[in-house]
Structures are given as structure tokens and as C-alpha cells.
Structure 1
């Protein structure tokens, strides 16, 4: 057991960190060897120094982006789950509304965002709607599939025992849909962050509500490329943290009973 645990820790944690350290080392060495100016392509040390010096301002921008991300994610989870339950209870509702959900998913948010920003006067609300539009479809799709993916023998067993629709939903369909729903959360959390950043780019927000996208735009205009990379690093790190948080939630809820989270010894 101990060698297995150690090997798993190495594969999950140490190996990715070693690859990242190697990439950073090659990046640093290449920029120093070819004397690449920082305003063209900064070294990792330039980015780290800028991140340390401008951290308060960048963290303020990160908080503005996170507020939009969290609100959009919450809206996507609540609305997407409610729609998925409606779809499984009524095929008429599913056939009537699902095509519009697909249309929202395939329409580029950069094309829709200006209209939303014009119609919605409040900037934060407009950015939240844009991000929610991107994040909602994985919740709808995954949860709907999960609610329908029940074992036929178990469904027949519930019918034989004359279980009502509510009992079947609570005791059969929801547990069956939980892994699909949690997979949708992992996708949707990242999409909410992407949607918030893209909406900020389109809106070009500034002032107190300026997010990381605004910092990236300003840094590029001022040729402060290390600051731009520092903002990009914060966006990337936030996305990774959101994914790990959703993965941790999935392991917490599924780790003791579902095949996708059980650790199999080989």
C-alpha cells in the first residue's frame, strides 16, 4: 500500500511540478541567451518581480473578476439544474427549450456581449449575464443526461413497487445523476471564469470595477508586458484552483461509493 500511495502522489503532484519547473527554466534560459527584451517577451523572473510589486492592484482586479465569476456560476448551477429537472419531467418542455440552450452555447459570447451590455445598464449585472450564458450549458447537458441514465432494472424495480414520481426522482434519478452533475460543475466553473474575462474584454470596463481583463488591456497599451503576464498568471491560477475545488467536491461526495472516484489497486 505505501509504495502505491507514494507513486500516486508522485504522478499527481510531483511530476506536473517537475515539468512546470523544466518549462520555466528553459523559458528563462532562452530569454537570457537571446537577450529578448522584457517588453517583447519577459522572463519568469520579470513576471514574478512585477507580480510582487503590483500585487495589491492585481488582487483588487482579481476580486472584481471573481465576483462576476461566482455570481455567474451560481446562476448557471441554479438555472441549469432547474431546467434539467424540467426536461426530465416533460419531454414537451425539453423539445421546446433545449434547442435555445444549444443556440446560446454555440453563439460566440463576443457577438452577444455588446447587446447585453447595451440592454443592461448595470455593468456588473451585464458581465454576470454574459458569463452565465457561457457556463450554463454544461450544467443543463450533464444533469439532463445523468437524470436519464438510470439502470433499467432499478427503474423497473421502482415501478413494480409502485414508487411515485417524486420518490423515483429523489431515490433513483438524483443519485444516478450526481456524478454527471459534478462533472458539469468542473466544466462550468472554468467557463464562468472565461466568460467573465471575455465579457470584461468586450465591455472594456475601467475604474473601481475593473477586472483582470482591463489590467491586461491597459498593460498591453502601455507595453508593460510583465504586468500583462502577471495578470494572465492570476487568471490561470484561479482557473486551476476552481477546477481543483470542484474535483475535491466530487471526490468528497463520490469517493465512498461511485466507480469514478474509487481508487483501484493495480
Structure 2
């Protein structure tokens, strides 16, 4: 019996020696997270790279003319050769998109707060916001261009209309989604309206606002491009949509693809920036952005 106990004790000690320490577990989790982060970057890069190589091969093997379908290598060369023109157009589109988005954020948030705090404001103005949302921007853009003397201001207004509603709608939902038990608790402790708004309604609305921001970022770019297509503007102070129109009129298809590539790249950058902002704002406390093991 004594020898059996000694043997069991030895096995327990060996198991204890083999058990990983807290530092080892943390290092293992960090390695897993790093590997997952690398895969999240590597897999899309490999897929996109493979599609570009396939595109290049199809064009070269079938000897497709560049005015029908240019190869990615020709598009890249065109982008480099015309960078001065395209970069100026890109900067104009960036400014227009960001200004429209900033105006949508300010207007949408302020109106959402008014909707949440004053019922009669929501009853009176929400139908107008819905009408602006469901009316295609391409249908009202010509009217805006007629009534607004400045073309840039008209383009900005068109982009703002497209980006405004997601901010408004999501923020209103967030302000109204605060837990009813927490509302009762704030009332029980006689919190002021400002305290209730600051410490309950704003944290409740923040995840919804960030979701709306990611949607509105892309829509503001779409609104800016569509409005410029409708305006048919030309000249130096114009955006990427004008470069696409000019290229189509001149049958410069590689140039058109280069401008289209910059539009898509700008949209991706906008989404990634706001996704990172959402992760930074919500990652330490909200379930939607918290990292989960396994």
C-alpha cells in the first residue's frame, strides 16, 4: 500500500511538472492570435493575387485588345504614368467624401438625439428623412444641380443625402435600446436627464452609431461618385468619376480601370479605418468587438 501511494504521488508530481504555466498559456494564446492575424491578411492577399494572375493570363493567352479588357499590368502602368492627374482627382473625391460624411455625422447625431428626447420632433421629421433615403439620388441630383449654384456644393449635398440616413437611423435605434431595468435604476437613484443621457443612452447607442458609420462611409463615397456622374463635370477640380467619364468618351479603357481601381481602393480604406475605429472604441467592453478565444 505504501509503495502504491508513493507511485501515485510520483505520477501526480510528474503531471504537475508537465502542466503549462500561466506564462506558457499566455504565450501560446498570443501565438495563436498572431497566426490568425497573419492568416486574415495572407489569405485575402493570396486570393486577390491569384485572381489578378488569372486575369493577366486570360488577357495574354486570348490576346484580348486593351480597349476591350486591359491586363492588370497595363492598368498599373497607366496608373503610374497618369498619377498626377489621377492623384488630383483622388484628392478631390476624398475631400468631398469626408466633408459629406462629417456633415452626415453632425446632422444625423443631433437629429437622432432630438428624436430620442422629443417625440413630436420624431413624428414630424422622420417621414422626411425616410423620403430622402428611399428617393434614388440619381433622380434628384439633376434638380439639386439646377437649384444650387455651386457645383461642388451640389455634389456635397448629394453625397450628404446618401450618407445621412444610416447615421440617423442607427443612432436613434441605439438611443432607444437602453435596457429598461437600467433606466429604472437611474430613475430610482434620481439621476438627472443629462446623467441618464451621458452614462446610459450614449454607451447604449455607441455600437449602433459605429455600425452606421461603417455603412455611411461607403455610401458617402458612392453618393459623391454618382453625383459627379450625374453632373458630368470636367476640368481640374473634379474627382475620379469625371476621370472615368472622360476615359469612356475617349475609349481609354486602361485609364478608366485605373480610376475605378482608385475608387475601390478608397472605399476599402474607408471601411478599414472605421472598422479599426469601432474596434478601438468598443473592443474593451462590447461583445460585438471583444476578442474571443477558440
Return the TM-score normalized by structure 1: 0.98
| 1:203-222 map, 5 Å | 203-222=231-250
| 1:147-166 map, 5 Å | 147-166=175-194
Distance 1:113 1:151 in 2: 41
What CA RMSD, in Å, does the superposition of the two structures yield over aligned residues?
0.9
Query: Residue in 2 aligned with 1:263?
Result: 291
Query: Residue in 2 aligned with 1:45?
Result: 73
Query: Residue in 1 aligned with 2:217?
Result: 189
Choose which of 139, 151, 156 in structure 2 pairs with 1:123: 151
The Cα shift of 1:30 comes to 0.7
| 1:101-250 map, 5 Å | 101-250=129-278
Query: Residue in 1 aligned with 2:56?
Result: 28
Classify the secondary structure of the residue corresponding to 2:236: helix
State the structure with more CA Rg: 2
Choose which of 124, 128, 131 in structure 2 pairs with 1:96: 124
The Cα shift of 1:208 comes to 2.3
Distance 1:81 1:115 in 2: 27
Classify the secondary structure of the residue corresponding to 2:196: helix
List alignment gaps of at least 5 residues for structure 2.
Answer: 1-28
Q: What count of residue pairs does the alignment treat as equivalent?
A: 266
Deviations 1:118-174 (A, max 9, x none): 111011111000000000000001100000111111111001111122111111000
List alignment gaps of at least 5 residues for structure 1.
Answer: none
Distance 1:224 1:53 in 2: 13
The Cα shift of 1:55 comes to 0.8
Return the TM-score normalized by structure 2: 0.89
Query: Residue in 2 aligned with 1:60?
Result: 88
The Cα shift of 1:68 comes to 1.1
Taking CA–CA contacts closer than 8 Å with sequence separation of 6 or more, which of the two structures ends up with the larger relative contact order?
1
Query: Residue in 2 aligned with 1:83?
Result: 111
Classify the secondary structure of the residue corresponding to 1:209: coil
